[in-house]
Chains A and B, each alone.
Chain A
Amino acid sequence: MGISLEMPRMLNVLLLDADGKRVSTKYYDPKMTSLEKQLAYEKMVFSKTRANNARGDAEMALFGEHLVCYKFAADLHFYVTACDEENELIIAMVLNAFFDAVSLLLRGVVEKRTALENLDLVMLTIDELVDGGIIMETDPNVIANRVSMRGAEGEGAPPLAEQTLSQALNMAKEQITRNLLR
């Protein structure tokens, strides 16, 4: 076990439910292309982590040569895996970006039903997060903007920084109305 000399590469990004079933998954590992291997891997990771309390901060574990960072929220389990030579904190950064971006796009309601109802957003988040194993972006706001194609309509789109601010305000507004309506 040495340390990686190449650019960081993720092996997979997983979103499972509270029973370990797939909500959305993406594999970048050429050794894990078959469905059986993938499901076996998900089962192993799920069963070995489910007992842990990973609801606050992201947790970390090493399974064989897979370094897995994970975090749970309600009935959703988020996982990001890289090889054991990778810098743990980079994997954690990717996981947090994944979680935060999904959380932004689902407007704070991070649970299985909303995730399935907005599965397109979840899939696009993964697509904007990692491309073929290479980390694309880790700022959750930027990811959320790209997923929702903000700035794609019309030409002179407003600068990115302003967008995030206005989006944040909108989000807050919406969150409040949502809570009031409940």
Chain B
Amino acid sequence: MVETAHSLMPENGKKRDEDSEDGLELSPFWGIEKGAVLQEARCFNDSQLDTRRCQQVITKLLYLCNQGDSFTKTEATEVFFAVTKLFQSKDTNLRRMVYLIIKEICPTADEVIIVTSSLMKDMNSKIDLYRSNAIRALCNITDAGLLGQIERYLKQAVVDRNAVVASAALVSGTHLLKVNCEIVRRWSNEVQEAVNSKGPFVQFHALALLHQIRQNDRLAVSKLVTQMTRSTIRSQLAHCLVIRYVFQVIKEGSSCSGENRGERPFYSFLESCLRHKSEIVMFEAARVITELTDVTIQELQPAVSVLQLFLSSSKPTLRFASIRALKKVALSQPSSVTCCNMDMEGLISDHNRSIATLAITTLLKTGNESSVERLLKQIATFMADIQDDFKIVVVEAIQSLCLKFPQKHRVLMNFLSSHLREEGGFDYKNSIIQSILCLIKEIPEAKDSGLSHLSEFIEDCEFTYLSSQILHLLGEEGPTASDPSKYIRYIYNRVILENATIRASAVCALAKFGLLCPVLLPRTLLLIRRCLYDNDDEVRDRATFFVAAMQDRTFGADGLESHLKYHLCALESSLSEYVSGSTSSSFDISAVKCAPRENIADPDGVLDLEGNSHPNLDDGFDRELQDAERSVASIVQFSHFGPIFKSCIAVELTEAETEYKVTCIKHVFKLHVVFQFKCTNTIKEQVLENVSVAMELLDGAGCFEECASIPLESMPLGKSGSTYVAFSRVEGKRFSAKFACTLKFTSKEVDPISDIPEECGYEDEYTIEDVELSLLDFMCMTPLSNFRKAWDALPIETETANEYSLGKRESLGEAVETVTKVLGLQPCEGTGAVPPNARSHTALLSGTYVGDVALLVRLNLGIDVSNEVALKLTARAEDASVSEVAQLIVSEA
């Protein structure tokens, strides 16, 4: 009989109503108060201890702690001192509670000393449970200083013949490693002895501690592992530890020596663990095998079989564990999981929704194109009764499936849109919309059906945010769709039925249709006119603006774009300057810098200025570049160069914290190169005027000829001004070149009192760093959704193929990244990412060479055991010389 199973019946005259529905009243802690309990704790000081009562009070104190009541410093000290009195009692159950509360209260250092002697006494008690609990309590509250005193006892306890004492000492030792690892290290021999103990948990705790002690000594760990794999392991947890340590040894071994091609060391041990009688050990071995680097299909097979077996277990935890492990395998080796597809399909109806969701997402990864329809049918029944967060996981999996099998976009898109119409929270709806948006971007064929699904959705969408987002998208993409007129009705319905925010978005969307499709202009104009009397200001304003814009004949399709594409920062700053009244002239919009036009006329219809042309740049760089592009485009002397092909990230030409700060941005045109030098003066006491940069060709003479130089009138203090040098390029020649640069200027001293510069200055020059032009500067990334089609469209005669050795690389992924970076091309169809453990990979890259020559590159990479990477580069371009260039870039890198 359990003696302490006493009841803590209410004592303070509280009535218990048996029929009460209120669970609170049934609780023995109903109406408990900290003050009252602290009062009660005085009974600890009684000369005749009521042990039962003391236990109840300790329980109440701990209950209060756990419910979030905190004791003040003095209260805690008081309770602690009172508790130490309870060591007088011989009652074992009370003693157990005393140990517990000592650990919970965490006394301060001077208080620890009070209790140390009592605990030390118990550590040497003849009662095993006193010894173990005293060790745990003492180690919990001790500090490094006190540890020296008790170390001797702990060391002895490690090899105690009683399991509970040994475990207590070993676990406490593991915690103490953080406090003082030196002392614990000295127990090495004792711990080693405990590893061979008969008690399963002693073995487990000892092994864990021994490993932590030897952690940094690789040889010792490997010795320990070898020894353990040969001996009998009694505890299943210890067995798991051995498996983990083996895994670690294998991992470290494979990274430093690549020559062992045959049997993986310790693999047979892991394999034998798969046949262990404990499921825990079997599973541990299976998951370790699936995690081995470069695991082969043969090695994987027995582990997958074990996991497959678990899939049909009656225990939910086992099913959960195995499906989660299989999902991970499916990420890197989908083919080896396909054999479990049948079992996984059975799990779709599992009552544990976590298991069902994992099963579905795994199936979506392992499934082949033909099974997509069947799978969707099964998911549809399942989707109805799961929570939103699981649904979001499924939607994401479907999105990636759709990107994998673009041909299936129709079915998958239908699936997504049908769920869009079902009940669901905002996050869920938003994730579906984001998926459809992504699919519209990536798969051009899916655009029409996606847009019509979305426009149907806004008919009864309850979320304003989503409606406006979709309306914006319709405005962007609708006019270029195959039949723009059909969206008008959907959009105008919103104007009639929705709130002001949505109406405003709808007006914008309508206007875009009108301005971009001349056929629709009269009709949309009519519709927008109706909004002129809307009762919301913003809607009226937008309607008025667009009516004016649409009536103005000169304000054509590009008119809208260039109008909207004023550089917002520039517009803002010039407006605020105007408003502040510092200038007397009237506001002149034409002085505001416009976005460069050529991006708008992008042949792919990519209207998005931000990001698309330089997808991998930071926002900051991006903005700086756009600023620079605008300023170059606004210079008359360069206007006959045509559109900018590419601008390169600014390069610093001066050391940090020099008198002048100069950065250079290269703008590449079809036949010209413009160097923009942004100069900043950092010294207050001088004015620099007539600033220019003299550039002298060092390398590549004959390819470039200077054709213009625009000096900077004065170099401002703190802000940057630009001077430009333009070169014309001789066509058909190599482009790499190097220029020596010298900053030339007239320097004038400033009178420190009057702040007026002196009349006459002197000419000076300042050498800045060289500027280089490389082939890379003439290459631009272009995103592409269907590589195969574009590849086949390019003339096969231009194809060049070459093989290269890239030497030792960290991983295949790193090699792909490097080559892509060297070439400056855009990875397509997600081939820029290499699945972990892959031995070979094909990456598809696309780009444009100066002169708008499309260039496509296929990289075939393979990695061998010693991490040597071989590369085969196949390139096609609209011009044979350009595919040669791609080879040239790689061979020179």
Contacts and interface: CB of A to CB of B under 8 A. Distances in A.
Interface stretch (B265-273, B310-318, B683-691, B799-807): B310-318
Nearest to A23: B66
Nearest to B93: A149
Contacts of A116: 8, 27-29
Main secondary structure of the interface of A (DSSP, over half): mixed
Contacts of B126: 155
Interface string A2-37: 111111100000000111001011000000000100
Contacts of B201: 135-138
Interface string A96-118: 00000000011100001100111
Contacts of A24: 66
B812 to A, nearest CB: 19
B284 interface: yes
Interface in B119-146: 126-130, 136, 140
Contacts of A57: 314-317
A73 interface: no
A153 interface: yes
A144 B62 contact: no
Contact of B280 (A7, A52, A93): A93
A137 B165 CA distance: 12
A136 B4 contact: no
Q: Which of B55, B95, B168, B174 has the most CB of A within 10 A?
A: B174
Main secondary structure of the interface of B (DSSP, over half): helix
A62 B27 contact: no
A152 B29 contact: no
A148 B128 contact: no
B315 A123 contact: no
B208 interface: yes
Interface residues of A, number: 68
Contact of A152 (B130, B172, B248, B387): B130
B675 interface: no
A24 B59 CA distance: 11
A144 to B, nearest CB: 7
Interface in B147-195: 164, 167-168, 171-172, 174-175
A136 B167 contact: yes
Contacts of A136: 167, 171, 201
B96 A124 contact: yes
A152 B162 CA distance: 13
Interface in B45-93: 55-56, 58-59, 62-63, 66-68, 92-93
Contacts of B248: 5
Contact of B92 (A52, A60, A153): A153
Contacts of B318: 89
B4 A120 contact: yes
A57 B656 CA distance: 66
B535 interface: no
A133 to B, nearest CB: 9
Contact of A120 (B55, B164, B315, B317): B55
Interface stretch (B351-359, B448-456, B583-591, B848-856): B351-359
Interface stretch (B224-232, B236-244, B718-726): B236-244
A105 B5 contact: yes
Contacts of A93: 280
B100 A88 contact: no
A87 B316 contact: no
Interface string A49-60: 001110001111
B59 A53 contact: no
A2 B279 CA distance: 20
B352 A52 contact: yes
A135 to B, nearest CB: 7
B158 to A, nearest CB: 15
Q: Which of B8, B320, B352 has the most CB of A within 10 A?
A: B320
Contacts of B208: 7, 134
Contact of A119 (B63, B164, B316, B320): B63
Q: Which of B3, B127, B128, B140 has the most CB of A within 10 A?
A: B127
Contacts of B167: 136-137
A35 B65 CA distance: 11
B446 interface: no
A4 to B, nearest CB: 7
Given A107-B5, A119-B59, A148-B2, A90 B244 contact: no
A131 interface: yes
Contacts of B9: 117
B582 interface: no
Contacts of B140: 132
B164 to A, nearest CB: 7
Contacts of A123: 59, 62, 100
Nearest to A148: B2
B461 interface: no
B23 interface: yes
Nearest to B321: A88
Nearest to A134: B171
A75 B245 CA distance: 41
B448 to A, nearest CB: 38
A7 B207 CA distance: 9
B288 A3 contact: yes
A132 B171 contact: yes
B350 to A, nearest CB: 10
A117 B129 contact: no
B1 A87 contact: no
A118 B5 contact: yes
A53 B321 CA distance: 18
Contacts of B351: 52-53
A10 to B, nearest CB: 12
Q: Which of A58, A132, A149, A174 has the most CB of B within 10 A?
A: A149
A152 to B, nearest CB: 4
B706 interface: no
Interface in A149-181: 149, 151-153, 155, 157, 170, 174
A151 B128 CA distance: 8
A43 interface: no
B244 A5 contact: yes
Interface string B1-34: 1111111110000000000000100111100000
A6 B68 CA distance: 32
B565 interface: no
Interface string B220-260: 00000000000000000100110011011000000000000
B129 A92 contact: no
Given A22-B67, A57-B315, A89 B283 contact: yes
Nearest to B320: A60
Given A8-B237, A22-B66, A57-B316, A120 B92 contact: no
B244 A89 contact: no
A170 to B, nearest CB: 5
Contact of B127 (A75, A91, A148, A152): A152
A53 B201 CA distance: 32
A88 B103 CA distance: 29
B324 interface: yes
Contact of B2 (A91, A113, A144): A144
A91 B320 CA distance: 12
B60 to A, nearest CB: 9
B328 interface: yes
A105 B205 CA distance: 26
Contacts of A148: 2-4, 93
The 3 closest A-B pairs by CB, nearest first: A88-B321, A60-B320, A7-B208
10 contacts: A57-B316, A58-B315, A60-B352, A89-B283, A107-B2, A117-B9, A132-B171, A146-B164, A155-B126, A157-B128
Interface of A: 1-8, 17-19, 22, 24-25, 35, 39, 48, 51-53, 57-62, 69, 75, 87-93, 105-107, 112-113, 116-121, 123-124, 127, 131-132, 134-138, 144, 146-149, 151-153, 155, 157, 170, 174
Given A92-B317, A121-B5, 14 more contacts: A35-B68, A51-B387, A53-B351, A57-B316, A59-B317, A61-B354, A87-B280, A88-B283, A105-B2, A117-B7, A118-B7, A131-B175, A152-B92, A174-B1
